Amino acid sequence: MSACADRGAIVAERIFALIDCNSFYCSCERVFRPDLIRTPIVVLSNNDGCVVSRTPEAKALGIKMGEPWFQVRRGFEAAGGVAFSSNYALYGDISERVMTVIEGLVPQLEVYSIDEAFAELTGIQTDRVRMGREIRSQILAATGIPTGVGIAPTKTLAKLANFAAKRWQRQTGGVVDITDPKRRDKLLQAVAVNEVWGVGRRITERLGEMGIRTAWQLAEADAWTLRKQFSVVLEKTARELRGTPCLELDGIAPPKQEICCSRMFGERLDELAPIREAVASYAARACEKLRAQGSVCKRVRVSIRTGMFNPDEPKFTKGMLCELPYPTDDTRLITQAALAGLDKLYRPGFAFSKAEVLLMDLCGRGEFTDDLFASSQPANSEKVMAVLDSINAKWGRGTLRPGVVPAAPAWSMRRELMSQSFTTRVDQLWRVSAR
């Protein structure tokens, strides 16, 4: 990240755009279900726990973000609403298509999350609002996903412009350009401070105590006070709101320093055997991610816990760090270490709800210094893993897996309302009728 650019320097004015998909998961569910075009839709989190995405029709029914599904289910279904389990295979594919469309239209792109991307439009001479509309309509044509586009001199302002594009969808046509300082100031005054990128609930509360309630008041706040009372990050946010770019587009994400695979079980587990299956399968998945980024790891942490909210249940949570003999990416070795850790952690008599496998102390393959007396990963281990990965890439994840993991485990996530993998499985393709 570079230092803040001086105001009024003689360089082309920086222009950023944020393109954000509307109710992304729900919109994906609609792509192959034209019959649901006006139906209220929600998508549920892992294990069908909470609402994580809502269409405007579902919002109009009073469904809140994060609400537990079992609480809203009856009312929602009675009103004709349809719920889906998270279908990440579908969302991932549609997201890739959306990003590919944007990539073809802008000079530089940062994929910020599954449904948002920043683009830099600096130096582009054409009408920016028109360009925003072009991006929107091409994404809609290629994928059917509606989006909003915010355009501004900084990333934080682009995010805010995008918020305005969504809130005032009808008036703005989904594109808001606040490069003009007058429009920018008007928007800052109209928006509450908690809608600013990076301002969470706790910061909002503390800002409120200082009398800062709108985005405009944050932009006007004294930089030194913000830095002292909060952080440099919030100071930068305020500067960005004033129109001084402090954040650059992040290109390719640096390799992760830790890799985690953690999931709730579909049902409570009290015996060791099924928990071992789950931990082995999470370890195998984490190792796939590890090899995909070309790293090896030196330690693995395994942890298990019971549910934390049911007052009648005895609670238990414990983790353990397991050392590996040498930095490795071998599924067999890492799974073995994780299972050995689990065997020590496990206590009978508890209803366990979740396990986690965390790979730690990662470094690039071939980047670590060998211990003179330690053994290192044998070459044939790399060959075996390469074969494992290529077989799973060709025949589907989990085709080759540790022997402990069954093909259809009883503990796997509850996803009872899952739609088809329309674009990623040839046996689940969309069926069109020639009748």
Q: Does 366 bind other proteins (CB under 8 A)?
A: no
The whole-angstrom separation of Cα 78 and Cα 62 is 13
**Among the listed residues 34, 66, 254, 311, the single contact to other proteins using CB under 8 A:** 34
* 97 forms part of the interface with other proteins (CB under 8 A): yes
The nearer residue to other proteins, 97 or 305, going by C-beta atoms, is 97
Per-residue binding string, other proteins, 391-430, x by CB under 8 A, is: --------------------------------x--x--xx
Cα end-to-end distance, the chain, whole Å: 58
Site for other proteins in 203-242 (CB under 8 A): none
CB of 379 to other proteins, least distance (A): 17
Rounded CA gap, 122 and 14, in Å? Answer: 5
Candidates 76-84, 98-106, 148-156, 339-347: pick the segment binding other proteins (CB under 8 A). 98-106
- Contact stretch for other proteins (CB under 8 A) within 12-20, 134-142, 392-400, 406-414: 134-142
To other proteins, the closest distance from the beta carbon of 33 in angstroms equals 8
Between residues 6 and 35, which has the closer beta carbon with respect to other proteins?
Answer: 35
Query: Among residues 1, 252, 372, 434, which is the contact residue for other proteins, using CB under 8 A?
Result: 434
* Binding status of residue 55 toward other proteins by CB under 8 A: no
Question: Smallest distance from the beta carbon of 309 to other proteins, in angstroms?
Answer: 40
If one asks whether residue 147 binds other proteins (CB under 8 A), the answer comes out as no
Contacting range for other proteins; rule: CB under 8 A; set: 14-22, 90-98, 164-172, 310-318: 90-98
Q: What is the CA radius of gyration of the chain?
A: 25
**What is the Cα–Cα distance from 155 to 413, expressed in whole angstroms?**
37
* 11 counts as binding other proteins under rule CB under 8 A: no
* Alpha-carbon gap, residue 115 to 52, rounded angstroms: 13
Binding of residue 146 to other proteins (CB under 8 A):
no
- The residue (of 94 and 241) whose beta carbon lies closer to other proteins is 94
Which residue in the set 125, 369, 380, 433 belongs to the binding site for other proteins (CB under 8 A)? 433
Q: Encoding tokens for residue 395? A: 């025949």
Contact at 8 Å (CB) between 178 and 161?
Answer: yes
SS3 assignment, position 376: coil
Question: How many residues sit close enough to other proteins to count as binding (CB under 8 A)?
Answer: 24
Which range in 32-40, 51-59, 214-222, 235-243 contacts other proteins by CB under 8 A?
A: 32-40
DSSP strands (E only) in 308-424: 317-328, 352-364
Binding residues among 301-360 for other proteins as defined by CB under 8 A: none
96 is an interface residue for other proteins by CB under 8 A: yes
Entry field: residues in the chain:
435
Whether 96 and 431 have beta carbons less than 8 Å apart is answered as no
Cβ neighbours of 160 (radius 10 Å): 26
Whether the Cβ atoms of residue 319 and residue 346 lie closer than 8 Å to each other:
no
User: Nearest 5°: phi and psi at 330?
Assistant: -85, 115
Q: In whole angstroms, what is the distance from residue 139 CA to residue 131 CA? A: 12
Please tell me the distance from the alpha carbon of residue 412 to that of residue 12, in angstroms, as a whole number: 54
Minimum CB distance to other proteins, residue 147 (Å): 13
Distance, CA of 250 to CA of 241 (rounded, Å): 19
Task: Give the interface segment with other proteins, choosing from 30-38, 214-222, 261-269, 408-416 (CB under 8 A).
Answer: 30-38
* SS3 state of residue 39: coil
Distance of closest approach, residue 234 Cβ to other proteins, in angstroms: 37
Least separation in angstroms between residue 149's CB and other proteins is 17
> If DSSP codes are grouped into helix, strand and coil, which group holds residue 37?
coil
Among 170, 202, 394, 431, binds other proteins (CB under 8 A): 431
Residue 49 binds other proteins, judged by CB under 8 A? no
Segment contacting other proteins (CB under 8 A): 135-143, 157-165, 182-190, 387-395?
135-143
Q: 281-308: b or e for each residue (b if 16 or more CB lie within 10 Å)?
A: bbbbbbbbebbeeebbbbbbbbbbbbee
Q: What are phi and psi of 354, to 5 degrees?
A: -155, 145
Least distance from other proteins to the Cβ atom of residue 39, Å: 10
If you search the block for the tokens 């029709």, which residue do you land on?
57
d(CA 237, CA 241): 6
100 contacts other proteins (rule: CB under 8 A) = yes
Give the Cα separation of 253 and 261 in Å (integer).
19
Residue from 49, 144, 146, 402 binding other proteins (CB under 8 A): 144
Q: Quick one: which of 11, 141, 379, 408 contacts other proteins (CB under 8 A)?
A: 141
Write out the two tokens for 149: 């586009």
The contact set with other proteins (CB under 8 A) reads 32, 34-37, 96-98, 100-101, 138, 141-144, 423, 426, 429-435
